[in-house]
Structure 1
Amino acid sequence: MRVLIAVTHLLGAGHLTRAAALARAFAAAGHETLLVSGGVPAPMVRRDGLRLVQLPPLRIAGTEFSTLLEPDGRPAESALLARRSALMIETVTAFGPDAVITELFPFGRRALAHEFLALVDAARAGRPRPLVLASVRDILVASTKPARIAEAHARVADLYDAVLVHGDPALVPLDTSWPVDAATAAKVRYTGYVDEGTVAPPATRRAGVLVAAGSGPAGLVLLGAAAEAARQRPDLGWRILAGHGVPEAALSGIGRELPPGVLGRARPDYRALLAGAAVSVSQCGYNTAIDLLATGTPAVLVPFEAGVETEQRLRAACLAARGLARVLPESELTAQTLVQAVEAQAAAPVPGPHGIDIAGARRTVELVESLHGVGPARRGSVPATDPAFAVIDRALDSVAARGGRVPLFWRDDDAIAASPKLDRLVGLAEAHGIPLLLAAIPSGIEPSLQRRLETAPGVRVAIHGLAHSNHARPGEKPAEFGAHRPLDIRIAEAAAGLRIARARLAEATVLPVFVPPWNRLAPDLAAALPDLGYCGLSAVPGPPVPGLRRLDATLDPIDWRGTRSLRDPEALLTGVADAIVRAPEQPVGLLTHHRVHDDALWSFVAALIAHLVRHPAIQLLDLREHFGVAAMDMGLKASKSRVSQIARTG
């Protein structure tokens, strides 16, 4: 792909740091990447390997984001703003991107709306039209004016394909800081935190207090308090780092009477220093929080709160709530309170593993690849633009011409635990907003599966038998719930599968839907499932079962009897198209097995999904709605009653 990322940082350098990290991640994955920067160049932001277009730079004073200034402090004139917009349009036209990513806009940078909209309009005029994506950090600062929030939502609805949220909802969901409406929520894709810092080896011994106060003058209050604390308690071993945006005169005043080596400028080896510090003292900007998550250093956080800024305070509170930091409000900051907080944090237990996702750079690339329907060249792959997809387009076009919709759902079998392949599966589903029915083997479910699903709200778990054990006789097709054993034994095992899944996974995640291993199920057990609390059945297409809602798989891309890799792509696509023509009202059910996928299968599935979801005739099924929430509630009561009866009778 050709990827253009547009960013203008006005206060600190965090926005530019994150955008540059994403640009390098795309470039490392083989995509031609262009970073358009509209802020003042920041010397600490890595530019190696980047293709950069620098607009005439702008900045602000304090937190007055509506008043744009030139670097020398003069108000930005309309001619300069016009030059920036013209350069935006020229750049996007000449580059011809496949994906355009606007950092923070349309959720922020209202003062620069004219140039961002000019960029988006120029991009959308391209043929083929590129993806248009918003890139935002984990926490936003919402306007107090509802009209401005509504304006941002309208721009997302009209102009954007997705909103990439560079955070982990396990720490802080976006709607904690921004009133996300339903339409915007459907376009949100969490990437995890974007970390491109170096991996610092664990220190053999932690010592001293490391203070860092951001990249600009917003950290002057913290720097002053830390310097005074270092004068009062030099025995704590202070090292204080000021950003390169702090004026030299201000830094000299702060550093009076401090021993050499205590106060200095920000350094590229900051993370290594942090890994060896006994306590960290800092604000709580995005990149600072990631440094703390990466090193596990005990932290005292003094969030920046000038003006209407609430971002750092909220992030600090979320970290503190998980035992990862101690918060000292800026309004209470003095040398004495800082020393007290440092000593208290040094004496506190060291935080354990936090489980917060900081692989956001890689995940962002994968999400955009999936949305665009491409990836690295794969054996047997079919790009989303391949002519082979024309047969499906013709079938869907005929449905759309009649005003019809073709339901689509995705089921994946044999889940038991978290893994990189499960991450890839969930990431692909989230990238396209497809609800995923994950068939888990109850007896094999490990605790890591529940932890992973806590951050995958679009995934629902179905009951994949009990142990995925084959009880068929030699020479017969494998089955766990065929007619090979007494019915009462199979009933007890089907009941146990539902009971175990509910015990090992969050109840809201589990759907009482039975997925028989190998898609084989004897009719007598199918008839008994409603009495066990099941309200749904998913196998391969078969006859209706009273009391159960069916949702069956129709497309399995694996060549099980041959290569166990990808079947002939053209035959697969032709089969899907024929099924759509024959029965457009029947759902297209994609069936995958993430644990055994190779690159060819991943590539085909990604391309197929990307192509299908873009067609207006496709309707994504809501799994809870399809199987019926009321039926689930009734099923839960029936299941508990039936399980109790089985327990009593043995």
Structure 2
Amino acid sequence: MKTLPCILYREFPADGFKQIQQTLTGAVNRRKTTRPLPLLFRADDIGIPSVNALRLLKLFSNYGVPLCLAVVPTWLTAIRWEKFKAHVDTTSPQWCWHQHGWRHANHQPSGKKAEFGAARTKSALRVDLIRGRDRLTSVMGSDFSPFFTPPWNRCSEETLELLAELGYRGISRSKGEQTRRAPLDDFFINVDLHTRKEVDAVSALQALCEELRQAVEEYYVSIMIHHQLMNESGFELLDLLLAFISQSSRFKVCSFSDLGEPESG
């Protein structure tokens, strides 16, 4: 698991948050409707109550902002879950604890990584979906929400079919996966805060601002978080972003459970 923050946070521009704030404000003000804009946060690779993971929960708890937490089943134990429970009220509707694959292991022999990709048989996919769900249910009980975030934000057509058959309420993939229609609600990600691949901080900031602008224009902002990749600059930006969004009447911060499938508007 990578822990080195991307270049944006290692060399965060002095006016970085100002640019992000101006981008969001400008994009929202250009909208023709005053209807609040749906916005959600999804935190991936949850399961170990590390310093960064608990700090992330505290930050969201302070603002009362909903957070969808993608939990890797094999990473979560009863002891670790008790530690999460000691820091936040896990029963609160503020949190959407849901399934993030099974082991977060790549099974593709080549190309883009996927745990639930086309290289696997339908029976193998079914087994891992069920045992992942069963493990989380056994540890979390009623705190578990039947939504699915595939590791690396992609999965096969057969996985989508299985999720619907098994009664999952929704999936959360990347925006780029929308060419393959899901048979259940897809709360796709269109803003990536931390796994950026630009080679310099200025380019990374520009690309992040562009993702935010486009998301507002699509009438749906869904922000992906990776706490392992957050340093002080990463937490500072997220803190400022949460403060800005919380104080604005132009956004409606949601969880998967609050939304039907995202629509443009």
TM-score normalised according to structure 2 size:
0.82
One-letter amino acid matched to 2:26 = R
Residue of structure 1 in register with 2:155 after alignment? 521
Once the two structures are TM-superposed, the CA of residue 578 in structure 1 deviates from its matched residue by 2.6
AA of the residue aligned to 2:48: A
Q: What is the CA–CA distance in structure 1 between the aligned matches of 2:230 and 2:169, rounded to whole Å? A: 30
Residues 477-509 of structure 1 deviation map (CA, whole Å, 9 limit, x = unaligned):
1110010011111111111111111011132x2
CA contact (8 A) 1:536 1:627 kept: no
380-389 or 532-541: bigger deviation: 380-389
- Change in CA separation of 1:596 and 1:622 when aligned onto 2, cut-off 3 Å: closer
1:378 Cα shift? 8.1
Structure of larger gyration radius: 1
Match of 1:413 in 2: 44
Alignment-derived partner of residue 242 in structure 1: none
Query: Where do 1:174-213 residues align within 5 Å?
Result: none
Distance 1:596 1:563 in 2: 16
Q: Deviations over 1:550-596 (max 9, x none)?
A: 21111112245467999722331232113312x22xx2111011123
Other-structure match for 1:497 = 132
CA distance in 2, matches of 1:615, 1:561: 30
Of the three residues 467, 472, 477, the one matched with 2:103 is 467
How far is the alpha carbon of 1:387 from its aligned partner? 4.4
Instruction: State whether structure 2 residue 242 is matched by structure 1 residue 601.
Output: no
The corresponding residue for 1:571 is: 207
Identify the match of residue 246 of structure 2 among 571, 588, 613. 613
Letter in 1 for 2:170: G
Q: What is the aligned partner in structure 2 of residue 6 from structure 1? A: none
In the alignment, what sits opposite 1:538?
A: 172
Cα deviation for residue 545 of structure 1 reads 2.1
**Counterpart residue type for residue 237 of structure 2:** F
Whole-angstrom distance in 1 between the partners of 2:42 and 2:105: 20
- The match for 1:481 among 108, 116, 119 is 116
The Cα shift of 1:538 comes to 0.7
Amino acid at match of 2:216: I
Residue pairs, 1:225-244, within 5 angstroms: none
Higher relative contact order (CA closer than 8 Å, sequence separation 6+): 2
Cα deviation for residue 600 of structure 1 reads 2.7
CA distance 1:554–1:501, change in 2 (3 Å): same
Q: In structure 1, how many angstroms separate the alpha carbons of the residues matched to 2:198 and 2:100?
A: 24
Identify if the C-alpha distance between structure 1 residues 447 and 473 changes in structure 2 by more than 3 Å, giving closer, same or farther.
Answer: same
- 1:558–1:564 CA contact under 8 A, matched in 2: no
Shift of the 393–561 alpha-carbon distance from structure 1 to 2, 3 Å rule, reads: closer
Q: Indicate if the aligned counterparts of 2:54 and 2:84 stay in contact, CA closer than 8 A.
A: no
SS in 2 for 1:395: helix
Partners in 2 of 1:494 and 1:564 — Cα distance?
A: 38
Q: Distance in 1 between matches of 2:103 and 2:82?
A: 21
CA contact (8 A) 1:557 1:572 kept: yes
2:188 counterpart of 1:557: no
Write the deviation string for residues 247-267 of structure 1: whole angstroms up to 9, x where unpaired. xxxxxxxxxxxxxxxxxxxxx
Q: 1:482 to 1:522 in 2, by over 3 A?
A: same
> Does the CA contact (< 8 Å) of 1:466 and 1:493 recur in 2?
yes
User: Residue 104 of structure 2 contacts residue 115 of structure 2 at CA under 8 Å; is this kept in 1?
Assistant: yes
Distance 1:564 1:449 in 2: 37
Summarize deviations over 1:534-559 as a string: whole Å, max 9, x none.
Answer: 1110111224422x222111111224
SS in 2 for 1:502: helix
Q: CA RMSD in A?
A: 2.7
Structure 1 CA distance for aligned equivalents of residues 66 and 25 of structure 2: 22
SS in 2 for 1:484: coil
Native 8 Å contact 2:102 2:132 kept in 1: yes
Does the Cα contact within 8 Å between 1:408 and 1:620 map onto a contact in 2? yes
Q: CA deviation at 1:411?
A: 0.5
Code of the residue aligned with 1:510 in structure 2: it is F
Map 1:340-419; keep pairs closer than 5 Å: 379-380=11-12, 386-399=18-31, 402-419=33-50
| Other structure's SS at 1:616 match | coil
Residue of structure 1 equivalent to 2:6: none
Distance 1:390 1:466, change over 3 A: same
Assess if the C-alpha contact under 8 Å between 2:198 and 2:204 holds in 1.
no
**Unaligned 5+ residue runs, structure 2?**
1-8
C-alpha distance in 2, partners of 1:567/1:411?
Answer: 24
CA distance in 1, matches of 2:106, 2:200: 19
